Amino acid sequence: MLLASIGLTALAVVDAQRAVRSQQAVTQRALREYATFAAWSYAQHLNEVLTTLLRESLGAVNHGDDMHTSPRVPAARDLAHYLPWDAVCMCHRARSGPNPSTFFALKIGDDRLDVGLNTHADPTHGWEVDRPMPEPLAMGFVGDYSRAEKKWLVDTLTRRIRRAGQPDHGYTLVVGETGEGPLLAAYTLMPTSWGDTMVYGARYSTKALSAMLSQVLDGNGLLPSTFTEGRRNRDVLAIRVRDRAGNTLFDSAPGLTSPLDAHIDLPGRAGALGIEAIIRPEVAGSLIIGGGAPSRLPILLGVLGLAAALAVVAVAQLRREGDLARLRADFVSSVSHELRTPLAQIKLYLETLRLGRAKTDAERDWSLGHIDRETTRLHHLVENVLRFSRLGHVDATSAVAERIGEEVERVVEEFRPLAASRRARIVTQIDARPTLAMRPEALRHLLLNLLDNAVKYGPNEQTVRVSLAQRDGEAVLSVADEGPGVPVREREQIWTPFARGAAARAKGGSGIGLTIVRDVVEQHGGRCWVEPASPSGGARFVVTLPLDTTPAPNARAPLGDPTWHAS
């Protein structure tokens, strides 16, 4: 079921992501259509601006379908006279756009280029007419034209006009590369009645063209108000204009890249300029009703991750439940075995006494001694189980301050018969001074479990050493055995419920004794740990408990330095 839920969640994530991608694709198409409209609108506005500008600059020599009949042919310098007059600057100045940098004229079939120069102090501000300067093609420099530029202009215009066949009575923009930078020029034709075809044109600087392209972008009516929503055109749209060779003539947002773009090419008479319109990514969402489709992938992946995490937690919980069930079963089995052994011994010796097999008083006393020892063992087991059932609950009984040396001796004496059954010898070194505030039976539970642990997991005929000392404001109680010791990796694990070290698994036990020890110690504000008893082996379990400074009611004079006592 858990795997099925993860699978269904994954399918939901995939399906939702597919829907989001579909919505994003629709949004992308809509935004590209906006970009296409913007490119088309910019091209239309640019064409209108160019037509108006060139009509103002070259309209005087454009006769439409008629021919020029006057014997006087205008010179290039004469074109400046047809620019509007500005009384403020006392000069001619274009009103529809930038001023031409020069005017030029040529006759098809002739390699001479007639150039009209602007002698105004600020050529971008106005025009002052120069003197006539007809120059042959052989000259290295003609006005503002280098030899390469003049040759390119004459050759290009002658080739284009002859290829067209019929005269074009409109205006044409040419953009070319002469090896010395881009050359921008516009021209119109003036056929004469005697058969010549005159070409009149105006040259513009790249700076002037860039300014004009920028003005078109900032002009009114380029984009509908529902599209811009009060913003400037350039805040919504980026425009990039290139010539036929791919050279950039204008870029309103250098470096901007976006898939939300559209491209349109102007016709040859408009210079074959390429216009690229780019919707700015930062405003793309506001151009779509309801905004663009946000990516739900992080949320969906989060849901999938949460489902997977919950499944992992559930699996871990199930495994933990299984482990706990196994531990409970092992605990019940171990406790049952521990209880059955003394009961079997008690029953055996009672049967011996009941059937009269003990013939002498010594034999009867010996059987009764065994019964008493096994009864004590059974009592200890039951006490441990009851104590374990109350694990973590603070005993409501008030603690009583007393010298614990005598209690330690009493518990050791109580345990000696059980140790003797395994031929273990217990030696003690008890300092009578430590006074502790402990709850009744707490020290007994603690020490009995440590002694039982030492005797059970140590070898037969070993010596168990019990020590009580006073040091640095604490009572230090330790029980050392001669067993295999506890590996470092298990020294913390063995204090947890049902946990048993690798060396202890082969022997009986419930796995709760050391847990009870730690619980008692922590309730009294102490510490406990295990360490090697000696370099050759063994384990020493150490308990430290804070001393009570209140004089104990049963206090006696200290016994002096403690020494080891054995029995």
Q: What is the pLDDT of residues 459-494, one digit of tens each?
A: 989 999 999 999 999 999 999 999 999 999 999 988
Q: What angle do CA 149, 150, 152 make, to 5 degrees?
A: 65
Read off the pLDDT of residues 183-231 as tens digits, 9 standing for 90 and up: 899 999 999 999 899 999 999 988 898 999 999 999 888 888 877 888 8
Ranges of residues in the chain with a pLDDT under 50 are: 133-142, 290, 552, 555-560
* Residue environment code for 401-417, b if the CB has 16+ CB neighbours within 10 A, otherwise e: bbbbbebbbebbeebbe
For tokens 């997977």, the residue is 308
Cα(481)–Cα(424) distance, rounded to whole angstroms? 10
Paired tokens of 403: 């010298």
Domains and CATH numbers, the chain: 1-295 (no CATH), 397-566 (3.30.565.10)
> 451 Cβ partners below 8 Å, 6+ apart?
411, 412, 415, 418, 419, 426, 464, 466, 479
Residue 361: its H or E element: helix 361-389
Paired tokens of 303: 């849901």
Residue type, 535: P
User: Using an 8 Å Cβ cutoff, are 13 and 189 in contact?
Assistant: no
Query: In 3-state terms, what secondary structure has residue 527?
Result: strand
Cα(68)–Cα(61) distance, rounded to whole angstroms? 9
Cα(20)–Cα(43) distance, rounded to whole angstroms? 34
- Predicted confidence at residue 93, as pLDDT, reads 92
User: Using an 8 Å Cβ cutoff, are 134 and 147 in contact?
Assistant: no
For tokens 């016709």, the residue is 267
Strand ranges in 178-234 using DSSP code E only, listed in sequence order: 182-191, 197-204
Specify which residues 545 forms β-bridges with: 475
Cα(500)–Cα(493) distance, rounded to whole angstroms? 8
- Predicted confidence at residue 135, as pLDDT, reads 46
According to DSSP H, which parts of 493-561 are helical?
Answer: 513-523
- Predicted confidence at residue 64, as pLDDT, reads 83
Q: What angle do CA 107, 113, 118 make, to 5 degrees?
A: 125
Give 3-state DSSP helix, strand, coil % of the chain, rounded to 5.
Answer: 45, 20, 35
- Predicted confidence at residue 269, as pLDDT, reads 87
Query: In 3-state terms, what secondary structure has residue 11?
Result: helix
Residue 469: its H or E element: strand 463-471
- Predicted confidence at residue 559, as pLDDT, reads 45
CA dihedral 217, 222, 223, 228 (to 10 degrees): 40
Whole-Å CA distances, 551 to 402, 514, 554, 558: 8, 30, 9, 13
Decide: residue 521, CB within 10 A, 0-12 exposed, 13-18 middle, 19+ buried: buried
* Residues shown for the chain: 567
Give the end-to-end CA distance of the chain in Å, rounded to a whole number: 64
pTM comes to: 0.51
Cα(292)–Cα(20) distance, rounded to whole angstroms? 10
Query: In 3-state terms, what secondary structure has residue 404?
Result: coil
Read off the pLDDT of residues 393-406 as tens digits, 9 standing for 90 and up: 666 567 788 889 99
